[in-house]
Every structure is written in structure tokens, then in C-alpha cells.
Amino acid sequence: MNFDFTEEQQAIRDMAEKFTADEITPNAAEWDVEHTFPRQTLTKAAQLGFGSIYVGEDHGGVGLSRVEAALIIEALAYGCPSTSAFISIHNMATWMIDEFGSDTLRAKYLPKLVTMENIASYCLTEPNAGSDAASLKTRADRDGDEYVLNGTKAFISGGGVNEIYVVMARTDDSSKSGGISCFVVDKDTPGLSFGAQERKLGWHSQPTSSVMFNDCRIPVENMIGKPGDGFKIAMQGLDGGRINIGACSIGGAQRCLDDAVAYVKERIQFGQRIADFQNTQFVLAEMKTKLEAARALLYVAADKVAKAAVDKTQWAAMAKLMATETGSKIVNDALQLHGGYGFLMDFPVERFLRDLRVHEILEGTSQIMKFVIGRELISD
């Protein structure tokens, strides 16, 4: 097996790292403190193709694989995991329109999504349907040439701000997962409204709210795929989404490891650098080893998802589980090495600690990842 990246992949990673260093890292702390949504930065990212990573070139995108996407997301997360994750979510929703939508939907929505003039949200989770997503209650009932949506989605990144909402809604009560369909809803659609912006531990650079549908009418042609395809589309999207969230954790953990190494080289205690204590070196060694192991697993899994391997879902789950939990552990250790200074907002590590914590919950909790992995192990 070849673990080397191609010249093109290395160039993509270099481009993403430069963009992060120039546009994200210098501003991320302010975005966090001020809860600033960096719209202009997202537009600049789209100019490099980061708003249309999976969209085919014939529709204005860059047509990259899940491996290149993970490289990009990891690099962006080095500066700000919150902003990187937001870009990942936009790409997942945009991919659904490109991959499963009709020519009419592609022509209508992709041009402005590719440039991120319009930004897309992904609406699956509900107040009473989180880990058990197939139990969602939001309905889409057909009425002539329209579907009428009623229900509420929770924890939606971009809620109230983004222009496009890719929504999973129930169209058939006779089947649990098979009765869910997928739709595109415009922000200005009558009957669509939003809750107050959520007050979150981290991810302060992206808005989050509930999304509510009250007799919200959309054209029949706004369905993505066929009736009943929604859950299948959602699960395929989650394979890639789990890879990207894992990449966010890897990127954030790498930043904190680098910062910790720099700090312990400068900090003097008991007459010598903290870096010269054997215990410090042991902690750093463990952080580095676990980070590289998680990164290796992540990119094997990304390759499996890119190639649509039969075991891609299990590998995506393993990668997400290991990357997110390892990432949080590394950031926590980095904060410990900073001592009391790590607890201050003057140092980035406390922001990364807050941002990475949610990665063990979204796109499937760690417990759900274990369920997915274990289910595949015992299946006949």
C-alpha cells in the first residue's frame, strides 16, 4: 500500500495551509471572542475551490476526492476548527445536490453554492431525533405540485444565516428509514423560520440555531433523488462528514502539539526549560505517537470512502472515533503543558479545547461510532 500523497495532493495541502496562515490563523481568536461569522473569508476560500470540493468540474466545482477533502479540512482546522467544520458542512450539503439532484436543481443552486455566494446547511437532527436519526418527525406531505413541510430541526449550523437548507423529512409512515426524503429549501420560503442563536461552548465562528417549518411549501422538483431516498443520502453524506470531522480534530490537535512544543522550549522552571524534563518529553512523545496513528487511520478510511469500498462505513466510523477522541486528549495534554497560561484566552489552546469537544458528538457520537463498528463485526 502506498501511503505517499501525489504531487497534486501535496500542492492542494500546501495551498490550504497557506490560506490558513494568511486568512484564518491571524483572525480566529477575534472571531471566537466576538462570535464573528467570517463571510468574507469563506468567499475567499471558495475562490480556491474550497466551497465545491466534491462538485464535478462540469458544474463549476473542483471534483476532488474524500482524501483531498480531508487534507483541506485538516489544514483549515489548524487555524480554526469551527470555520473548517462549517466549510465541511457546506460541502456535504452541496455534494448532495450535485450527486443526487436533478439537472434542474443543479442549474438552479450550484452556481452560487460553488462560489459560496450562497451557503448551504444540512438539516437532519431534531429535538427528539439525534442519534436515532431515522425516527425524525418533520413531515413533507404532497399537495399537487408542492410539498408542505412541517416540523423542527435542531443544532443546525448556519441556521438563520445560510441561504440554502438541505432537509430530511418524512414522506411515508409505513417505513422508518425508507420513509424519509430529501429536499432543498430556500431561506426566503414562506413558513420557514429560525430559533434564537444557540449559546455554545465552542464553534463561535459559526451561527447555530433551530430551523422550523410551518406549512412551508416548496416545489415538487426541489426533492433531491427519489421519494424514500433521503436516509440513504444522509448516511452516505455522513461517511464523508465523519472523515472531515476527524480531520478537523487532527488539524486542531496538530496546532496544539506545535504550540506546546514551542511553549515548553521557552518556559523556565527549577532553573531549566520545561522541555528538558523527561516527563515533558514523555508526554510529548505520547501526543505525537497517538496523533500520527489517528492521522494514518483517517487517511486509510478516507481512501476507502473515496473508492466506495464495501467496508467504508465501518472505517469512517473507526477513523472518526479515534481522531476525535485522540484530538481532544492531545489538546487537553497541550493545555496541561501550558500550565495556568493554557487556561487563559491569550493562548489558542483553550479555544481549541472548546472547539474540538463537540467533534465527539456531532456526525454521530463516539458511542454511535462504536455501535457501527461493532455491528459490522458481528454481521453475517
- CATH number for the domain that contains residue 159: 2.40.110.10
**Domain co-membership, 325 together with 241:** yes
**Domain co-membership, 129 together with 202:** yes
Question: Which position has the grid cell 472548546?
Answer: 354
**Mean pLDDT across the chain:** 96
pLDDT digits (tens, 9 = 90+) for 286-305: 999 999 999 999 999 999 99
Looking only at the bridges linking them, the beta strands covering 120-123 and 164-170 are parallel
**Domain co-membership, 16 together with 110:** yes
Residue type, 320: K
**Domain co-membership, 351 together with 252:** yes
Q: 82, 114, 146 — which closes off a domain?
A: 114
**Domain co-membership, 221 together with 242:** no
**Domain co-membership, 57 together with 148:** no
**Domain co-membership, 15 together with 92:** yes
Question: Which position has the grid cell 411549501?
Answer: 217
pLDDT digits (tens, 9 = 90+) for 122-136: 999 999 998 998 999
| Known catalytic residue at 126 | no
**Domain co-membership, 223 together with 236:** no
Q: Using CA atoms, how far apart are residues 96 and 184, in angstroms rounded to an integer?
A: 10
Q: What pLDDT does 175 receive?
A: 86
* 252 belongs to a structural domain: yes
Q: What is the DSSP string of 128-153?
A: TBSS-GGG---EEEEETTEEEEEEEE
289: buried, middle or exposed (CB in 10 Å: 19+, 13-18, 0-12)? exposed
Q: Evaluate whether 94 touches 110 at the Cβ level (below 8 Å).
A: yes
Q: What is the pTM of this model?
A: 0.96
Q: Phi and psi for 22 in degrees, rounded to 5?
A: -85, -40
* 187 belongs to a structural domain: yes
Q: 114, 141, 156 — which closes off a domain?
A: 114
**Domain co-membership, 237 together with 368:** yes
Which cell is 342 given?
493554557
Selecting among 23, 126, 360, 363, the annotated active-site residue is 363
Counted domains in the chain: 3
pLDDT digits (tens, 9 = 90+) for 331-367: 999 999 999 999 999 999 999 999 999 999 999 999 9
CATH of the domain at 268: 1.20.140.10
* Residue among 324, 302, 292, 235 at smallest CA distance from 71: 302
**Domain co-membership, 195 together with 258:** no
* 160 belongs to a structural domain: yes
* 219 belongs to a structural domain: yes
Q: What pLDDT does 119 receive?
A: 98
* 42 belongs to a structural domain: yes
How sure is the predictor about 74, in pLDDT bands with cuts at 50, 70 and 90?
A: very high
Is residue 3 predicted with pLDDT exceeding 80? no
**Domain co-membership, 172 together with 72:** no
* 1 belongs to a structural domain: no
128: buried, middle or exposed (CB in 10 Å: 19+, 13-18, 0-12)? exposed
**Domain co-membership, 107 together with 178:** no
* Residue among 264, 268, 253, 207 at smallest CA distance from 348: 253
Q: Phi and psi for 358 in degrees, rounded to 5?
A: -70, -15
Is residue 2 predicted with pLDDT exceeding 70? no
Cα separation values, 66 from 112, 118, 145, Å: 22, 22, 36
Is residue 158 predicted with pLDDT exceeding 80? yes
* 16 belongs to a structural domain: yes
**Can you give the residue range of the structural domain that contains 309?**
231-378
* 365 belongs to a structural domain: yes
How sure is the predictor about 1, in pLDDT bands with cuts at 50, 70 and 90?
A: low
Q: What percent of the chain has pLDDT over 90?
A: 96
Q: 114, 148, 180 — which closes off a domain?
A: 114
